[in-house]
Amino acid sequence: MTQHNWDLSKIYANDAARLEAKENIESQLAALHTLAGGGKDALPEILPAVFDLQRLFSSYYGYTMMSRDVNTKDPSAQRMQQESDGMEARFTAATAFVRPLLLSLTEEEVEELLQKPDMARFRITIDRIRRYKDHTLSTEEERILSSLDEVGGQFQNAFFMLSFADMRFPDMEDGTPLTQSNYISLLESQDPAIRKEAFTKYYDTYDKVKNTLAADMYGNVVANVRKAQLRNFSGARQAALFEDDVDEQVYDALVEAVSESLPALQEYYRIKGRAQGLDPLHMYDVYLPVDTGQDAKVAYETAQGWLLEAVAPLGEEYSNVVKEAFRDRWIDVYPKDGKQSGAYSGGSYDSVPYILLNFTDNLDSAFTLAHEMGHSVHSKFARDNNTFEDHGYTIFVAEVASTFNELLLLDYLKKRADSDAERLRLVDHLLNSFKSTVFRQTMFAEFEHQTHRRVEDNGTLTDEELRGMYYALNEKYFADSVVLDQEIALEYARIP
């Protein structure tokens, strides 16, 4: 089983090594304060000191976050993560002077700075920072605002602790545990009684803590809105998109295009219901895969083999990275008590690009492996071929590599399918994946925008209001193609 747990000792061999790294970071953090008063002339010293420390800290933060995510109940992991959050806040406050200082330079002074030894690596970074000229405060105001970042982050921490460490779901009637990790798998059961039972018990549990989660969400939204206002953005949405240099018109165009296509989504659900003998289709039926009469189980080792075959057209270099990920324990594979649900690709510039999975031996899990591996190989190549300052990529383009990997896997499986039942199963997966990626994510985006606009207009976000907003969006997206069971209104409370 150890082979199925990621190996974080690649970052720190033991806790003594972690503590040594922590002390080193704290020492360098203290030294930053001595550079703050140096002004423009000190920038050749300031920039390397800031970004070299950021590089060290990103490794430390990644380690503590991943340690917590595999066991949110572990007190030592919780403590380490809180320490990291505090260090991050102090780092942000200590470096708050850098942005105003860079913005004070003329174009000529910027070019002079970049000609100095070791400064060329900061060109893109400086260009990005100077985009924020209209959204940057004074040095002292930046320091104060930065010191509050840790406060804003506690809303997400509270959500994680409640959702993954403290929340307990009742067992199913047959004794099967109901968890965050297996909930969707239970909704894929061919037994309608199991689907309905899982759906009802899952949201009954959320119903018991709905006011707590609503208050937590309200706090998070308020923090986003106030920060955007303080930085002179037109709203929280502009602030969120500005970082990736995405115009708000792109968001509006997406919502408009998806809204115009909703009749196709609704017809898809009507066809799905008729094909599966479910008239009407309920919300607890929408994840039900087509019944091909075949064993739907997919072992992790099978998924590994599929993926290696699927990515072969990308060449030996790419395939070797995937093999390395499997061999050298980049991946934490299976669900476990206290583990964060879902999946992600993580790590830092100086670590391997780790992958968190909750593999449940089905086709969706195989595609999730392909998806996250796309992110991780992308990250490895980005880190191997760029400096620390330039290796990052925006979330706006990140999904290209991951979704392409899914399509490679789909193409491979379609070519090896030797029956109509297998091909039908793959078409069903593709349609469901497209629905989730395009329609469902856009619905989430609409909900997020609505909640922030409500607070910007001096409104409130009680559980009743949040459920009403979310249910109305489900009415828009599903119309009469699916019975909108009232429990679905609480889905707003479970999405991170």
Contacting residues for 412 by C-beta, under 8 A, at least 6 apart: 306, 309, 310
Q: What letter represents residue 481's amino acid?
A: S
Cα angle, residue 79 at apex, residues 74 and 81 outer, rounded to 5°:
95
Give which of 176, 168, 181 is closest to 194, Cα–Cα.
176
CA–CA gap between residue 392 and residue 58 (Å, rounded): 12
> Which residue carries 């009507």 as its tokens?
270
Alpha-carbon torsion (371, 373, 376, 380), positive or negative: negative
Does an H or E element contain 344, and which? Answer: strand 344-345
Residue 274 CB-density burial (10 A; 0-12 exposed, 13-18 middle, 19+ buried): exposed
pLDDT at 1: 57
- SS3 labels along the chain: CHHHCCCHHHCCCCHHHHHHHHHHHHHHHHHHHHHHHHCHHHHHHHHHHHHHHHHHHHHHHHHHHHHHHCCCCCHHHHHHHHHHHHHHHHHHHHCCCHHHHHHCCCHHHHHHHHCCCCCHHHHHHHHHHHCCHHHCCCHHHHHHHHHCHHHHHHHHHHHHHHHHHHCCCCCCCCCCCCCCCCHHHHHCCCCHHHHHHHHHHHHHHHHHCHHHHHHHHHHHHHHHHHHHHHCCCCCHHHHHHHCCCCCHHHHHHHHHHHHHCHHHHHHHHHHHHHHCCCCCCEHHHCCCCCCCCCCCCCCHHHHHHHHHHHCHHHCHHHHHHHHHHHHCCCEECCCCCCCCCCCEECCCCCCCCCEECCCCCCHHHHHHHHHHHHHHHHHHHHHHCCCHHHCCCCHHHHHHHHHHHHHHHHHHHHHHCCCHHHHHHHHHHHHHHHHHHHHHHHHHHHHHHHHHHHHHCCCCCCHHHHHHHHHHHHHHHHCCCCECCHHHHHHHHCCC
The structure tokens listed for 254 are 């997406």
pLDDT in tens, the chain (496 residues): 589 999 999 999 999 999 999 999 999 999 988 888 889 999 999 999 999 999 999 999 999 999 999 999 999 999 999 999 999 999 999 999 999 999 999 999 999 999 999 999 999 999 999 999 999 999 899 989 888 887 888 999 999 899 999 999 999 999 999 999 999 999 999 999 999 999 999 999 999 999 999 999 999 999 999 999 999 999 999 999 999 999 999 999 999 999 999 999 999 999 999 999 998 999 999 999 988 777 679 999 999 999 999 999 999 999 999 999 999 999 999 999 999 999 999 999 999 999 999 999 999 999 999 999 999 999 999 999 999 999 999 988 999 999 999 999 999 999 999 999 999 999 999 999 999 999 999 999 999 999 999 999 999 999 999 999 999 999 999 999 999 999 999 999 998 7
CB-CB contact of 38 with 387 (8 Å):
no
Give which of 174, 158, 171, 167 is closest to 205, Cα–Cα.
167
The structure tokens listed for 120 are 């060329």
pLDDT at 205: 98
List the catalytic residues.
372
> Which residue carries 């964060």 as its tokens?
340
Contacting residues for 256 by C-beta, under 8 A, at least 6 apart: none
CA–CA gap between residue 150 and residue 88 (Å, rounded): 8
Contacting residues for 103 by C-beta, under 8 A, at least 6 apart: 129, 130, 132, 133, 136
pLDDT at 292: 75
Mapping DSSP to helix (H, G, I), strand (E, B) and coil, where does residue 99 land? helix
pLDDT at 2: 85
Q: Which CATH class is domain 2-147?
A: mainly alpha
Max CA distance (Å), the chain: 74
Residue 177: CB atoms within 10 Å: 13
Domain layout of the chain by residue ranges: 2-147, 154-288+421-493, 300-416
Give which of 300, 262, 278, 298 is closest to 425, Cα–Cα.
298
Residue 369, CA distances (Å) to 314, 362, 414 in order: 17, 11, 18
pTM comes to: 0.92
CATH topology of domain 154-288+421-493: Neurolysin; domain 3 (1.10.1370)
CA–CA gap between residue 326 and residue 348 (Å, rounded): 18
What region, left, alpha or beta, does residue 315 occupy, with left being phi > 0 and alpha being psi -120 to 50 degrees?
A: left
